[in-house]
Amino acid sequence: MTLLAIIIILFAGGIIAWLSERYLQKGGRWISLVSLLLAALLLVNYWSYLGTPQSVSGGPWWDSLQAAWIPRFGISFHLAVDGLSFLMLTLTIAMGIFGLVMTWNDINFRRGFFYFNFLWTLAGVVGVFTAIDLFLFFFFWEVMLIPMLFLIAVWGYEKRIYAAIKFFIFTQASSLLMLIAIVGLAYIHYRNSGQLTFNYNELLGAELTANAAYWLMLGFFIAFIVKLPALPFHTWLPDAHTQAPTAGSILLAAILLKTGAYGLLRFNLPLFPESSMAFAPVAMTIGAISVIYGAMLAFAQRDMKRLVAYSSVSHMGFVLLGLYALDTIAVQGAVMQMIAHGLSTAALFALVGALQHRLHTRDMQQLGGVWAILPKLSAVALFFAIASLGLPGLGNFVAEFTVLVGSFRSNHWITALAAIGLIGAALYALLMMQRVFFGKLRNQFESPSESGDTADLSLRESCALLSLALLLVVIGLRPQPIFNISEPTVTQAIAEIKAVAPDQNLLSSQSQRQEILISTGDKSP
Closest separation in Å from C-beta 397 to other proteins: 8
Q: Distance between CA 94 and CA 99 in Å, rounded?
A: 9
42/199 with CB nearer other proteins: 199
The minimum distance between CB 521 and other proteins, in angstroms, equals 9
Task: List Cα–Cα distances, 82 to 43, 266, 294, 360, 486, in angstroms.
Answer: 12, 11, 32, 43, 8
Tell the smallest beta-carbon distance from residue 71 to other proteins (Å).
6
Distances (CA, A) of 234 to 76, 173, 241, 291: 33, 14, 11, 12
407 touches 321 (CB < 8 A): yes
Q: Which is nearer to other proteins, 261 or 329 (CB)?
A: 329
Smaller CB separation from other proteins, 91 or 482 = 482
Q: Helix, strand, or coil here: 79?
A: strand
Minimum gap (Å) between residue 44 Cβ and other proteins: 25
Give the residue from 100, 107, 119 showing the smallest Cα distance to 460: 100
CB nearer to other proteins: pick between 139 and 200? 139
Find the shortest distance in angstroms from Cβ 398 to other proteins.
7
Distances (CA, A) of 214 to 76, 184, 271, 280, 426: 26, 12, 11, 12, 37
Least distance between other proteins and beta carbon 327 (Å): 8
Cβ atoms within 10 A of the Cβ of 105, count?
Answer: 12
CB of 480 to other proteins, least distance (A): 6
What residues contact 304, with CB distance under 8 A and at least 6 apart?
352, 355, 362, 363, 364, 367, 432, 436
Task: Report CA torsion sign: 114, 118, 121, 127.
Answer: negative
The least distance separating other proteins from the CB of residue 57, rounded to whole angstroms, comes to 25
Q: Which is nearer to other proteins, 3 or 43 (CB)?
A: 3
How far is residue 479's CA from residue 122's CA, in Å, rounded to a whole number? 25
Q: How far is the CB of 33 from other proteins (least distance, A)?
A: 23
| Contact of 464 with 412, CB cutoff 8 Å | no
CB contact at 8 A, 275 and 214: yes
Q: Are 259 and 144 in contact (CB under 8 A)?
A: yes
- Looking at the Cβ atoms of 42 and 492, the one nearer to other proteins is 492
DSSP secondary structure, 386-434, as one string:
HHHTT-TTSHHHHHHHHHHHHHHHH-HHHHHHHHHHHHHHHHHHHHHII
Q: How far is the CB of 143 from other proteins (least distance, A)?
A: 5
* 77 backbone dihedrals φ, ψ, rounded to 5°: -85, 95
Q: Which is nearer to other proteins, 49 or 369 (CB)?
A: 369
Cα 468 to Cα 342: distance, rounded to the nearest angstrom: 10
Instruction: Name the residue nearer to other proteins (CB basis): 43 or 402.
Output: 402
SS3 category, 21:
coil
Is 333:322 a contact under the CB 8 Å cutoff?
yes
Report, in Å, the least distance between residue 41 CB and other proteins. 27
The nearer residue to other proteins, 426 or 468, going by C-beta atoms, is 426
Nearer to other proteins, 37 or 207 (CB): 207
Q: In sequence order, which residues have a C-beta less than 8 Å from that of residue 271 and are 6 or more positions away?
A: 185, 203, 204, 206, 216, 217, 220
Nearer of residues 142 and 202 to other proteins, judged by Cβ: 142
* CA neighbours closer than 13 Å in the CB half-sphere of residue 133: 22
Look at residue 177 and give its three-state secondary structure: helix
Task: Identify which of residues 46 and 437 has a Cβ nearer to other proteins in the complex.
Answer: 437
Q: Rounded to an integer, what distance in angstroms lies between the CA atom of residue 91 and that of residue 122?
A: 11
Closer by beta carbon to other proteins, 1 or else 169:
169
CB of 45 to other proteins, least distance (A): 27
Partners of 133 in the β-ladder:
199
To other proteins, the closest distance from the beta carbon of 410 in angstroms equals: 10
Q: Which residues contact 424 (CB under 8 A, 6 or more apart)?
A: 291, 292, 294, 295, 296, 298, 299, 314
